Structure 1
Amino acid sequence: MAVTTTFPPAVRSLIAATLVNTLGNGVYAAVAALYLTRAAGLSVGQVGVGLTIAALIGLAASTPLGVVADRLGPNRTYVGFLLLQTVTMTALTQVRSVVPYVVVAGVTAIADSGQRGAKGALIAGLAPVDQRVRTRAILRVATNIGMGVGMGLAGIVLAVDRREVYVIALLANAATYLVTAGLVRFGMPPVPPVPRATGPSALTAVRDRRFLVFVALDGVLTMHAAMAQIGIPLWIATSTDAPRWMVSVLLVLNSVAVVLLQVRVARGTETLTGAARAGRRAGLLLAIACLVLAVTDTTSGTVTVALLIVAALVHVVGEMLQSAGGWGISFELAPPGAQGQYQGAYAMGRQLGDLAAPLLLTTVAISWGWPGWLLVAAIFLTAGLLIPPVVNHHQLTRDLTPVG
């Protein structure tokens, strides 16, 4: 079968929608902490509590909201949750105390989980089967570009550092959700919903134990995000003699590598075998990155800087392989009519990783030093090695006994 080399217009519209959405997300990501603590008057502890509660709500809601996408259709569901995010982002400009903040953060988490599952189902419905992973890879590139530009624009807001300017930034982000919803509503043909009477059970994904094992293993690998944003920066600042500006260098290196290489790295992960192999390689490379980092507390000067760059490069290749492998597996293991709930369940892995990683990295890798990095390396390696047998066994048992 010939591989499609161009995208349908609907997929191009989805790429444009992603750029608009992530542009606003980039602005918000850069200004959120300072807005909440300086303009809204919340303490750091209150913000942390709100974020934790929101993360737990989003985790619990992810799979059920994926079922909603299957039943109502991913277009309608995606638009609905984007509009809800417009409302919650606007409401955030009125927050002055912790209780309203927690409420807004919780509803935002529900909307975010809902749109993730719907977007995954929309990709599965709009892109040709052999282009689903490539589509997600290009959307990830678009996400990095949009986030990068948005964070750059946020520098103006941070430089002014006034409440009214923060509010304008939040309202601008709310507007991007509205524009994104319009692009989805009017720029893409509807993907048909799956009626309850003819579709899989709403509990199909949560009963699919092998798939949930994969989700957990993939969630372990997604701790690479916190490793780049929290683990490596703290390690550089506390345990190496490298200049602190290396943190920015490595983050920029990560973003540029994803933009330039994510689509290329995703090649071959359209099949279940190729995707599982990518998961295994991701675990190996992330483990190697940890081992290189472990050495840097005993080196100095140029050697330390060189090793940090090596670790960052190995890390980002592992990150891209994990993303591509996870996309391929989550699409391929979903039975017909259940893409929404399987994409919602797949998103739980990243949410679990985001919850567990900060504690693991700070209490183990940073506090223990090189033995901690060796333990984290073993965790990454084990997760990667287990993905192929879990996925292969799932495929075998599904062929013999269909899930449903």
Structure 2
Amino acid sequence: MNAGDWLYCAISGDYDTLLRATLPDGSTAENDDQNGDQRHSLLVARSSVGGSATVEVSGYQGATGAYDLSCKSFSETAPLFARQASLQAGAGGATRYMNRYSVPVQSGDFVLANLSDGNFDMVLRAQAPGGQEYQADDPENLFFEVSQAGTVELVATSYNVGETGNYRLETQVARGPQVLRQLPLQLNAGSPMSIDYSIPAAGLYLIRAESSDFDTVLSLRNKRTNEVVENDDYGEGYNSMAVMEAQAGTELEIGIRDYHGQNGGQFTITVLRAQTQRPANANGSYQLSERSERDIARYEDWYDVNVEGPGVAFVSVRSSSFDPIVRVRTADGLGYQNDDYNDDRSWSALAVPVPGPGRMRICVTSYEDRSTGQYDLQVFHAPTERPASIAPNWGN
């Protein structure tokens, strides 16, 4: 191998294969169970200096058997395809569908919203007057205070691109919370504690825990329904806040503990009750469909690259502007994807088996939604008659 060369090693056997390599620069690489297949192992690694690489074939937990080994080194000096470009807003990309709901609010209001009964992986987002943004996923529950009058925009969407389905949205606006009780208390170091509070009238109750001595974690348990909610770090500092609806006469167990499990000190529990409104336009059963508003989730650049014969294609994308993802679809229709090669968020790379001459489609996109910036794409091709099969991990 020359300095900067890549080593590609693939093994298939009739036993649980294990593959190791020591590169000329002294770095090592190991693989067992390529893409979960115990009979295949695959290595792709780069050496910073020239010399000989040593490849070791063995079996997991001493397994033995026949195997077929293929090793190849290839250089970055002559890429098959190279492009320095910019991922820009508006580039064609993956689409999520979304439904918007506008909720009028006043300063000091608390907004509670949740999605439920969905037959897809739901995500709930909100933007408050002033630009504060909130997002909830698994569970899809939002609870926040509004600092100025205006309109809160709720967005029901999906975690995965292109998903549609049915769901239920419930939204409440808690206005004018009144203090019912304020309790100064002491938490012994390392000892959680709880107190009971009897609900005087049906309604929405906000419980706040405040301390400058320890990091509060607040929990509420409705003793009638056994519903439990917990909150840590509401707002700034060590404070916590949780909210629960309860009927008159319900015993509410208010629990408090230190986040680190070892501190204690003075704290105050405040019980507030608020009048609630349920906006008609943001409560009910709804459908996320292809007729919903479209949201470009990630921008994508696509390139077509022709290869003249079988071999291994190595596709590399680097960017200092965003966290890149690289995808490849080979001529036989199989798809491959990588994000964060060797845990490097600025670099994604793939080794892809090329069965024969034809066209590869290469996609450059981002991990974060709506990311943009410069990137460097390089494609190398190492001819080999029998490229090892690699299980596809993207698309159909």
**TM-score interval for Structure 1 and Structure 2 normalised by the shorter chain:** under 0.3
Higher strand share: 2
Q: Which has the larger radius of gyration?
A: 2
Higher helix share: 1
TM, length-normalised to structure 1: 0.18
TM, length-normalised to structure 2: 0.18
State the structure with bigger RCO (CA 8 A, min sep 6), 1 or 2.
Answer: 1
